[in-house]
Amino acid sequence: MKDSGHRMQQDKETLFDTEFGLNQLSGNRDLLIKMLDRFAADYASVGQELQDAVAQQDVAIGKAKAHTIKGVAGNLGLWKLHHSSKELEELFKAPDSDFTACLASFNQVMSDTFAALEQFKSGDSAPNDTGTPVEETPPGGSPVDAKAELTTLLEGFEFIDADNLQQLLKDAAITEDKRDEITQAISDLDYPSAIELLNS
């Protein structure tokens, strides 16, 4: 997994860092588009959901949603949305926050991000299947270590390639049925559910 900290600071106004997004998936454009489609489907109504959380004064739900968007956006190279979500998450942590301006900004950034993703999907400038392979974890770890490593990766919204994921699940002594559920949750970018399944 690449170190993105410096680039997130540098590219704070970038809607979609296509180079970073492709590098996260070892240059696999088709897989990136699949993940972007899933992202768009899963979070199309998140702006309304956040507004509802504010209206209902449900700080826990609002903070969790903002945190999830922040992580997924950072993992895909959606820097402006990552930072907008981070600002929103900080507001949910503070008492008596005024969300009006921040929510309006977040919704605009979300709309602009979806437009940028559509533009990327309709273009043909990005290479296919190029880039540096994602570093994999050697097999054979203990169940406790493998589960802890996988939990850490998921909590950080890190990309985990399919082979490495299956090896970690195997090393963690996860049953086959639960492996399928966890794999599907990760495919859906629903990392919180994957963590819950992993540790249940």
Amino acid identity of 114? F
Q: How many helices (H) and strands (E) does the chain have?
A: 11, 0
How far is Cα 23 from Cα 1, in angstroms, rounded to an integer? 9
3-state secondary structure (DSSP) of residue 95: coil
> Domains of the chain (ranges plus CATH)?
5-122 (1.20.120), 143-198 (no CATH)
- Note the pLDDT tens digit of each residue in 160-200: 767 788 888 888 888 888 888 888 888 767 777 888 888 88
Q: Please tell me whether the overall predicted TM-score, pTM, comes out greater than 0.75 for this model.
A: no
* Residues ≥6 apart with Cβ < 8 Å to 50: 62, 65, 66, 88, 103, 106
Exposed/middle/buried for residue 22 (C-beta within 10 Å: 0-12, 13-18, 19+): buried
